[in-house]
Amino acid sequence: MSVIATLVTSCKKEVAATDAIAKTETKVIAEAKKPAKASLTVEGMTCAIGCAKTIEEDLSKMEGVQKAVVDFDSKIASIDYDAAVLSPDNLVKTVTSAADGKTYSVSSVK
């Protein structure tokens, strides 16, 4: 009986810890004052799971980014952002500084 009580208690502690982590990782996205879209052609990606996902996560963490999607096959990063907070140059700098800062380059910004 005490084993069951221990398991139930320890499970609740794990769930609480997981909930706390999830709450701290949630990014609050404010409505964009000057909504804008950018499409960057990213060179140097070698995989979808590591490269594209890393760049996508780095872009998504930026203040002012509403949404970022990096398509490995087309080499395109599509970003919805607030032009009152960011410029396309800020987005390019984030992509080129991802990983070691030498792996990725941006060949086109639209």
- The domain 35-109: what is its CATH number? 3.30.70.100
- The domain segmentation of the chain, as residue ranges, is 35-109
Return the number of other C-beta atoms located less than 10 Å from residue 68's C-beta: 23
Cβ atoms 86, 68 nearer than 8 A: no
Terminal-residue alpha carbon distance, the chain: 65
* Whole-structure pTM value: 0.74
Cβ atoms 82, 64 nearer than 8 A: yes
Q: What is the pLDDT of residues 37-91, one digit of tens each?
A: 999 999 999 999 999 999 999 999 999 999 999 999 999 999 999 999 999 999 9
Q: How far apart are CA 74 and CA 70, in angstroms?
A: 9
